[in-house]
Amino acid sequence: MNRRLLPLVLACALVIAACGDDGSSSSADADPSSGESAGGTVTIEHLYGTTELDDVPQRIVSLNTQWFGALQAMGVDPVGYNVDTMAGPDGVFPWEEIPADAVPIETVDGLPFEAIAALDPDLILVTYAVTDQATYDQLNEIAPTIAALGEREVDTWQEMTTVVGEIMRDPEGAQAVIDDVEGQLADTAAELPGLEGKTFAFANYVPGDSIYVVADPDDGSSLFFQAFGMEIAPSIIEAGDGQIGRKQLSLEQIGVLDADLLVMFTNGADPSEIPGYEGLPAVQTGAVSLPDYAEVVGLNTPSPLSIPYSLAAVLPALEAAAGA
């Protein structure tokens, strides 16, 4: 499954199962941006080419929760935003504040090009909702469009925030946002020095199907755990065999989750029903977090607003892994 199909997978409650195990390798990620002074043209490089912006955009449509979080962290409200029907009654996550006049846009059944065009945007920000060049070109005909920044399954929230800073001609503001969130993570790391050198597994249990686990150290979701000096368990790296994104495991392979910390989205199921689950090292020590949908999305597709929210949810498991 192509990694840019993640929202559809999310809608099916397969949050971390964003792609299948195709064993493919990726080319180097695109440099996220390069910008001139506040009065000049800014050029943003992304998966489908480059986008040039001569002026600071005033009407931005965000079709991804990561972009939305980066925008709002910078004090920018989009005129249109993507809703996630599993996030709650209003289709937004707890860390998102929706302006009264912003228009919700559903993309589960495809991009509603006419509805997007009706908002008269001067910039469109998108990631997984665009699956090919033709779809990107359709959006780009409506307004300048910036897509996913590289080949990774999930872009880092730092890169996306940096790009928003370039777009708004406020790189200092973007860096301040990054410094603030990274500071919160650093404070937690300082409080839990026992996490240094420990291993983690970030997984999704799909009942009756498989387990999907993040197997890419460069994936945007991995950096949260790396902020505490942790690394993906070697057994997972070995099973992933160099692929980007997520590795699909059979339920019989649950022993691959041989990590000091286990964060697993279970889709409402009881993971103890999986033979071998109770014997996992993290389960034995109590270093397990079973986050809800919002909490796991906040880690899986992180933004500067979602990270503090999800950190609070997994903190008890982090403390157990650290021996605190």
Token reading at 202: 């970030």
Looking at every residue in the chain, the average pLDDT score rounds to: 87
The pLDDT-based confidence of 124 (bands split at 50, 70, 90) is very high
Handedness of CA 162, 165, 169, 172 (dihedral sign): negative
Q: Which of 106-115, 141-150, 184-193 has the lowest mean pLDDT?
A: 106-115
Q: Which pLDDT does position 324 carry in this prediction?
A: 62
Tell me the whole-structure pTM to 2 decimals.
0.84
Q: Which pLDDT does position 219 carry in this prediction?
A: 86
AA identity, residue 19: C
Q: What domains does the chain contain, in order, with CATH numbers? A: 193-322 (3.40.50.1980)
Indicate whether 165 pLDDT > 50. yes
Q: Which of 69-78, 102-111, 151-160, 238-247 has the lowest mean pLDDT?
A: 238-247
Q: Is residue 287 within 8 Å of 260, Cβ to Cβ? A: yes
